[in-house]
Copies of this chain bind each other. A is one copy, B any other.
Amino acid sequence: MHTLQQLQNRVAAEILALPIKSTPPDLYNPIRYALSLNAKRIRPALTLLSCQLFGGTIEQALKPAIGMELFHNFTLLHDDIMDNAPLRRKEPTVHAKWNTNVAILSGDAMFTKAFQYIIAAPDAVVKPVSALFTDTALLVCEGQQLDMDYEKSGTVKIEDYIQMITLKTAVLIAASLKMGAIIADTSTHNAHHIYEYGKNLGIAFQLQDDILDVYADPEKFGKQIGGDIIANKKTYLLLSALYHANIDQYEQLTDLLHDTKNRYAAYEKISRVTTIYNALGVKEMAAEAVKHYYQLAITHLEAVEMDAPQKQMLYDFGSDMLQREL
């Protein structure tokens, strides 16, 4: 039985050794570059882990697992164009290093390669595996669209936010696990519950990330503390604060959000917003939500029919996940 870390290492080695053509250079070099950036390879490792835990082999699931990682990296590539992000994994994004056209087209090629790996699933399951992949890909597109819509929208309900992060982040974790289950040919009961386990865990993880952005130990957190506040990101914390604020707090918050004149230095904006968050107790509200979705995930994991030592690996993954970056 391989550990998740071993499976991540296996996928990382496979990704590095992936055959990628060299011409046209502007089509294929960005793919090679994007895949060379440091990444944890969690999603494909989950596909392998799930396949293994349900009685399948690593080899059966390896290519579709790589397909999931290629897809994930494709979404990052295109999302970074849309979000105008200069950096990804501390390195220049493809559109910044080359240009937007190169990022669009090499992204399309990476998506195509993802599908090539997905359809290398064993014959008996190629249809359900491909259907899971395409259904999930469409949901991820919907999630990215909602994210862009909500950025411009004045009013976003917390339930809409949960829906957005479910589509943008959680369903890919869910599908990675379910894909392994399908390849291992387990029951639809198990495939359903492992999906729901992954989905709810993914939501909990994203909410945890919202908390960490403001409240993490700067020594341990990989990103800039308060980055979401500076970017006016409509996180669970901000949406909860706007919902629970009294008139005075609401005005302060919207003033800080609409600080088009840049009257506030970054550290001051972070400090003022955090003060309101603390007064309202939104950290605790978000922590409650994390607990809620984590509990839902566990309920689904309990419903999975699997021997205890195997299932323990999934419990461990869940609790580890809420303590580290995906």
Contact = CB atoms under 8 A, between A and B. Distances in A.
Interface of A: 24, 26-27, 78, 81-82, 100-101, 104-105, 107-109, 111-113, 115-116, 119, 123, 126-127, 130-131, 133-135, 137-138, 141-142, 144-146, 148-149
A111 B148 CA distance: 20
A19 B109 CA distance: 26
B109 A111 contact: no
Contact of A119 (B111, B131, B146): B131
A214 B66 CA distance: 48
B141 A109 contact: yes
Nearest to A136: B112
A181 to B, nearest CB: 19
B109 A82 contact: no
Which 7 A-B pairs rank lowest in CB-CB distance, beginning with the nearest?
Answer: A27-B145, A24-B145, A109-B141, A119-B130, A82-B101, A112-B137, A116-B134
Nearest to A164: B24
13 contacts: A24-B149, A27-B141, A27-B145, A78-B104, A78-B108, A105-B141, A108-B111, A112-B141, A115-B115, A115-B137, A116-B134, A116-B135, A119-B134
Choose among A108, A126, A149 the residue with the greatest number of B CB atoms under 10 Å from its CB: A108
Q: For A26, A107, A133, A134, which residue has the most chain B Cβ atoms within 10 angstroms?
A: A134
Contacts of A119: 119, 126-127, 130-131, 134
A130 B127 CA distance: 10
Contacts of A27: 141-142, 145
A125 to B, nearest CB: 11
A126 B134 CA distance: 14
A148 to B, nearest CB: 6
A123 B127 CA distance: 8
A306 B3 CA distance: 56
A134 B115 CA distance: 7
Given A131-B119, A146-B24, A81 B104 contact: yes
A112 B127 contact: no
A28 B68 CA distance: 24
B127 A104 contact: no
Given A78-B104, A101-B148, A126-B126, A112 B131 contact: no
Contacts of A81: 101, 104
Given A82-B101, A145-B105, A112 B130 contact: no
Contact of A82 (B82, B105, B133, B149): B105
Nearest to A128: B119
A142 B108 CA distance: 10
A173 to B, nearest CB: 18
A116 B132 CA distance: 10
A133 B111 CA distance: 13
A24 to B, nearest CB: 4
A82 B108 CA distance: 12
A54 to B, nearest CB: 23
Contacts of A135: 116
